[in-house]
Amino acid sequence: MKRIFLIAAILCSSLMVLQSCSPKSGAATTVKRGDVTGTWTLNDITFEGVPQSAVKSLFDEGSYTCFVGSTWRLTNSGNGSYSLPGGGTCAAKTQTIFWSASTADQTFQFKKLFEGDKAKNVTSGYRLLLSSSDGNSMVIKSPVEYGSTPAYIVLNFTKAAK
């Protein structure tokens, strides 16, 4: 009788180990920090759950249209910047940032740094959803308040040529 229980316990343990090691089907892909690091061009901005006419500014910089064509430099150390191309009613500008990506909750966050600022002393910033990044393209969603349903400004990036 003891042998039967011992064999059953070994079989159950083996089954659990084998199942935990098998690949999960339908599992969400986890974006890693290395997938975000590099130089990116913001090609397109779309909207989910909010009409574009309701969006007046992005990251407290002015019109979201000023960001189309912007270049984002994200180093592995967390230092970075974005450069707005300017044109029309948009001024050309480069903004220094400190960024991080959390794989646990799939977020991308950054703080604006101004002359003399240290990242550890800046308490305000932006927290966005890191929807996808495969090293060549990246989608980041900025949550906005609009009605009672979730709404997003969707930023579509492509990796800049070296």
pLDDT in tens, 30-87: 667 788 899 999 999 999 999 988 998 999 988 999 999 999 999 999 999 999 998 8
For residue 64, the tally of other CB atoms under 10 A from its CB is 19
Task: With 0.85 as the threshold, say if the pTM is over it.
Answer: no
* Surface-to-core class of residue 85, CB atoms within 10 Å of its CB (0-12 exposed, 13-18 middle, 19+ buried): middle
∠ CA 104-107-112, rounded to 5°: 135
